[in-house]
Amino acid sequence: MTGKVMKAAFVIKYGGPEVLEIRDTTIPKPNADQILVKVRAIGLNFADVMGRFGVYPGTPQPPFILGLEFSGDVVEVGANVKLFKGGERVMGYSRHGSHAEFVCVNENLATNLPAAMSYEEGASFLVVYLTAYHGIVRLANIRVGEKLLVHAAAGGAGIATVQLGKHLGAEIFGTAGTEEKIEIARKNGAHHVINYNTTDFADEIRRITNNYGVDVVMDAVGGLVYDKGWSLLAQMGRYILYGLAAVAGKGALNKLKAATVMSVMKPIFPVQLMSANKSIFGFNLGTLKGKEGYLKEAALELLKLYDLGVLKPFIGKIFHFNEIVEAHRALQTRQTVGKVVVVH
């Protein structure tokens, strides 16, 4: 298998969706601890958008194969691999490289696909549900009855957080930008959803909660949204920042623009946290090192909830691999809901 030619989407230079180019390249060979997977479906994430623009931490110099999340079939295993023998249906994530017909990943970064789960669902599961789990379970330790604010509540990670938060007994507040997205967030378990284009979400949450605010914020947007969200935190509140979607839009993006957007976020000094009785956490699963065992255990717990019907990936739109430029454009400009999936 290795040594033959495959199709892959390369970033030929940093920039918008148009910098993606499908090229022929050699199928990679797995090292001793890796598996080679024939990719059936690709899950797009905002990390892919940031990587394409060159502002994601650790992004290589072009040309390189983009891509974080995938599902497919194991076709070859390295000499030291113990978890797979070949032929298994799997889902997984890689630092880069999934925008291709084949990808190599460490065996610990792949998980068996349940029999009832499609390849499209498999490419939509791990990243968003691990994000939700790490944020509201591991970091926030959310409790029954607490109030949870989820920004971008109709996005992939937003829906995952809403579903998991509902299961854990939280009262969920969501923000979204269209009536369609508001309805989707509600159908997935949000109790209150606010259109941030027509209503000040902070004022509305204060009204609904009689000025209590919220106990936990899950924020993948940043920018001005961050300051408002921080002001809503009640005593013992926990703020989870895991993305900066505010820096992406229809236009070009570079490190200067990203820095400009981030500069509007008011700094927090440690001493302030003591008297305010608030906490802030930040995380990036793509740069989390040495925690593969924890992530594997979390994935297995999440799959149990999938088997019970508690968690259900919401796929907003499916593109063919030849349409990967259009898929990136739809995600970047927020034209979609839920997960965007690309299939071969």
Tell me which residue of 30, 42, 125 sits closest to 86, measured CA to CA: 30
For 71, phi and psi rounded to 5 degrees? -140, 160
pLDDT at 236: 97
| Residue 327 backbone class (left: φ over 0; alpha: ψ -120 to 50; beta: rest) | alpha
What are the pLDDT tens digits along the chain (344 aa)? Answer: 666 999 999 999 999 999 999 999 999 999 999 999 999 999 999 999 989 998 888 899 999 999 999 999 999 999 999 999 999 999 999 989 999 999 999 999 999 999 999 999 999 999 999 999 999 999 999 999 999 999 999 999 999 999 999 999 999 999 999 999 999 999 999 999 999 999 999 999 999 999 999 999 999 988 889 999 999 999 999 999 998 776 665 555 655 666 666 666 788 888 889 989 999 999 999 888 889 889 999 999 999 999 999 999 999 999 999 999 999 999 998 888 999 999 99
C-alpha 176/C-alpha 297 separation (Å) is 31
Helix (H) and strand (E) counts for the chain? 11, 16
C-alpha 175/C-alpha 191 separation (Å) is 11
| CA-CA-CA-CA dihedral for 58, 245, 66, 103, to nearest 10 | 90
Task: Give 273's contacts (C-beta < 8 A, 6+ positions apart).
Answer: 279, 280
pLDDT at 261: 63
The overall pTM is greater than 0.85: yes
Exposed, middle or buried, 284 (CB in 10 Å: 0-12/13-18/19+)?
A: middle
pLDDT at 267: 82
pLDDT at 255: 59
Tell me which residue of 20, 27, 95, 98 sits closest to 62, measured CA to CA: 20
Bridge pairing between strands 69-77 and 34-43: antiparallel
